[in-house]
Amino acid sequence: MRIDVITIFPEYLAPLDVSLVGKARARGRLDVRLHDLREWTHDRHHTVDDTPYGGGPGMVMKPEPWGEALDAVLASGGPGGPGSPGEPLIVVPTPSGTPFTQAIAEELSARPWLVFTPARYEGIDRRVIDEYAERHELRELSIGDYVLAGGEAPVLVMVEAVARLLPGVLGNADSHRDDSFAPGAMAGLLEGPVYTKPPRWRGREVPEVLVSGHHGRIARWRRDEALRRTSTARPELIEGCDPAAFDRQDRRTLEELGWRLGADGRFGRGSPNVEE
């Protein structure tokens, strides 16, 4: 997969050299290219921002450097065909975007080429987004309901979430099977607690079932813990689950946690967020 990032702070993306993403790059699984937006400015001060039309606080990123930068980066993919990285998907990190989720990470991980455009200040002149959305696929994505000083940290978040899904990047192909938010048997539930050696630490024992060697009991225990954790931390995920996905023991566990099957066919609780 090829990833281009156009930014005024290429050094902010140094973590892409480290750990899982760094290894994926070293192994040739990821081709990450960082570009300094200021290279596409033509004035002495390398200006990338200006005051907003209509007034108001803050500055807006000027369209010209972004246009030239995107044209150059997109053209570097060649005319398509053999040897080209394929169709680019432009990803614009913004707090006003669609929420970035595991499902979107999976979609992005299937693409051959991602081009990220992290902005600073109040964002990029809208005409840039409109122009490139007309010519290419483009998604505006938010990593959460809070406002950061720029899109670089969101790029780090999204690239890491995507890179770990690429075949051959995590050691074990099963490693993301039980992830919170992954599709599959545990879909819609958060992952429960995990333990490793030693079996006793500061007087705390590992749950007996995990050392029992009994795979059926272990799977059941993990599922009950996932239900407990989801019920406490994210009750709205239980409400959103299709009850057909719950087996008889799931239902028993949910009832112990105060959940009842409602007239609407979904599980609900009288008073939400009550610790059982």
Catalytic residues: 95, 122, 164, 179
The pair of three-digit structure tokens given for residue 195, joined into one six-digit string: 């333990």
With binding defined as CB under 6 A, does residue 235 bind ligand ADE?
A: no
- The residue whose two tokens read 């599980």 is 267
Contact with ligand ADE (CB under 6 A) among 70, 143, 159, 227? 143
The bridge status of strand 137-142 relative to strand 88-99 is: parallel
Minimum separation from the CB atom of position 230 to ligand ADE (A): 24
Minimum separation from the CB atom of position 161 to ligand ADE (A): 13
With binding defined as CB under 6 A, does residue 96 bind ligand ADE?
A: no
Q: How many residues does the chain have?
A: 276
Q: Cα dihedral angle (64, 67, 69, 72), rounded to 10 degrees?
A: -130
- Least Cα distance to 77 among 127, 128, 136 occurs for 136
Q: Please say whether the beta carbons of 94 and 140 come within 8 A.
A: yes
With binding defined as CB under 6 A, does residue 95 bind ligand ADE?
A: yes
For residue 38, give the H/E element and its range. Answer: none
Q: Name 137's bridge partners.
A: 89
Q: Cα dihedral angle (243, 249, 250, 252), rounded to 10 degrees?
A: 90
Minimum separation from the CB atom of position 52 to ligand ADE (A): 17
Q: Please say whether the beta carbons of 103 and 147 come within 8 A.
A: no
With binding defined as CB under 6 A, does residue 142 bind ligand ADE?
A: yes
Per-residue x/- track, 149-188, ligand ADE (CB under 6 A) = --x--x----------------------------------
Minimum separation from the CB atom of position 116 to ligand ADE (A): 10
With binding defined as CB under 6 A, does residue 7 bind ligand ADE?
A: no
Per-residue x/- track, 47-86, ligand ADE (CB under 6 A) = ----------------------------------------
With binding defined as CB under 6 A, does residue 147 bind ligand ADE?
A: yes
Residues at the contact surface with ligand ADE, assessed by CB under 6 A = 93-95, 142-144, 146-148, 151, 154
